[in-house]
Amino acid sequence: MRGAPGTWAAVASLVIVAASCGDDDADARDAGVLADIGSLDDAAPFDGDAAGLDAARTDGGRRGPRLNHDADCDGAALDAGPAVDGGPSAALLASGPYSVGVRTITMLDASRGRTLPVEVWYPIERASTSGTANAYFLDTSLGTLAHLCSAARRDAVPSAPDPSSDGWPLVVFSHGFGGIRFQSFFLTEHLASHGHVVVAPDHVGNTLADLGALGDDAAAAQSAVDRPLDVRFVLDRMLEPDAAGTGIAIDPARVAVSGHSFGAWTSFESARLDRRLRVVVPLAPGFRDPSSPAIAAELMSQPLLVFGASEDRTTPFDEGALAAYEVAPAPKQLVRIEGAGHLDFSDLCQVEAARAFIDDGCDPAVLDPAIVRDRVKVLVLAFLRRHLAGDVSADAALACDAVVALGNVECWREP
């Protein structure tokens, strides 16, 4: 892997607690949080051994993680986001013609000894009652930190693609540093409702469940090596005839990659290494080495839509999204969301623990995170239609005049 691990080790230092450095109020807040759930540097991950939990627990002697999967999520609806004033974007914002199914599968990469939990979202028939109500549970060695209800139907029967096609288009999504595979389900479910299959692995060793490893520089550097290989392996499995046992038909000529933060870097690096990834959509990418954007973007040839946030202190816009856009070849597009912060590109604004560790975004007094999700859903869907499906009518929604008209955004584009 060119530039790894040395060049990319610095990328992996985007530790979630780093966003509050130099902020006295944030330092005081984080001290309280760490007192409640244990130090990331000192905690040991829970691997089924009570001794591992002993190093991280704060529950006064409880043995085992406190998992609570009681959640009443019946009746959840797909989030259509704040309204837009007509134009080419209105239909892109609304949920699509399909309902959404979701399932969790496990993929074993025997060559690397890695077992990856993988979330798969897919279209189901609008009238389908198959499956059960869905919630996403944030399970860690310290217990269940939160559950997030969604409108998807768990383990529902997939819809068949158009018989004239070679299968559904596929998007591989990579979560951020210390994130989780379903961290941006606002986007993954939206795309599934519009006829895409979306697959997202946990990058094991660098997830919210791996609290004890998140302060370890060596583990972070290893994740920079593992992540593009995880994406390639998951793609290999999904392009098998049975799509990793899901039975969902995938069109191998229509595959995109996306991700947030460290996952956005992962999308750049994966696309550089694997030309089967035809479209690249990074959200708030971070590059700690000044040469990294050039290495990531100059060697790509795929269409690029990159998002950044004006108030992002974790992966600043000029050093991340803008730097990569400037060196990438056309076709390319850059969108800066004014007033947005780092976490606004995810559903982690709903998770108190995530907001405590990275105080960057999620502030409705500055910009409602729902507006950020709205802009992302519209533009990602339009970009995929244009560059995966070849639908030139999507250009109307991607034109910078139309993008700026959405509000709260700046736009740069080279078609």
**Separation of CA 261 from chain center:** 8
H helix intervals, 292-348: 292-298, 323-327
The answer to whether residue 31 is domain-embedded is: no
Q: Model confidence over 370-380: pLDDT tens digits? A: 999 999 999 99
CA distance 80 to 151: 11
Residue 270, domain extent: 78-414
The answer to whether residue 197 is domain-embedded is: yes
H helix intervals, 99-216: 185-193
Would you list the DSSP string of 264-301?
A: HHHHHHHHHH-TT--EEEEES---SSTTHHHHHHHT--
Q: Model confidence over 267-315: pLDDT tens digits? A: 999 999 999 999 999 999 998 676 678 777 777 899 999 999 999 999 9
The answer to whether residue 262 is domain-embedded is: yes
CA distance 187 to 157: 21
CATH code of 123's domain: 3.40.50.1820
- Tens place of pLDDT for every residue, the chain, 415 residues? 333 333 333 333 333 323 333 333 333 323 222 222 222 222 223 233 323 222 322 333 323 344 667 666 765 665 554 555 667 799 999 999 999 999 999 999 999 999 999 999 999 999 899 999 999 998 877 788 889 999 999 999 999 999 999 999 999 999 999 999 999 999 999 999 999 999 999 999 999 888 778 888 899 999 999 999 999 999 999 999 999 999 999 999 999 999 999 999 999 999 999 999 999 999 999 986 766 787 777 778 999 999 999 999 999 999 999 999 999 999 999 999 999 999 999 999 998 878 877 899 999 999 999 999 999 999 999 999 999 999 999 999 999 999 999 999 999 999 9
The total of structural domains in the chain comes to 1
Instruction: Determine contact, residues 153/102, Cβ cutoff 8 Å.
Output: yes
The answer to whether residue 37 is domain-embedded is: no
pLDDT at residue 215, as a whole number: 80
The answer to whether residue 46 is domain-embedded is: no
Angle (nearest 5°) at CA 317 between 305 and 173? 45
CA distance 362 to 345: 9
For the chain, state the CA radius of gyration.
20
The answer to whether residue 386 is domain-embedded is: yes
Instruction: Determine contact, residues 336/345, Cβ cutoff 8 Å.
Output: no
The answer to whether residue 296 is domain-embedded is: yes
pTM score of the predicted model: 0.83
The answer to whether residue 15 is domain-embedded is: no
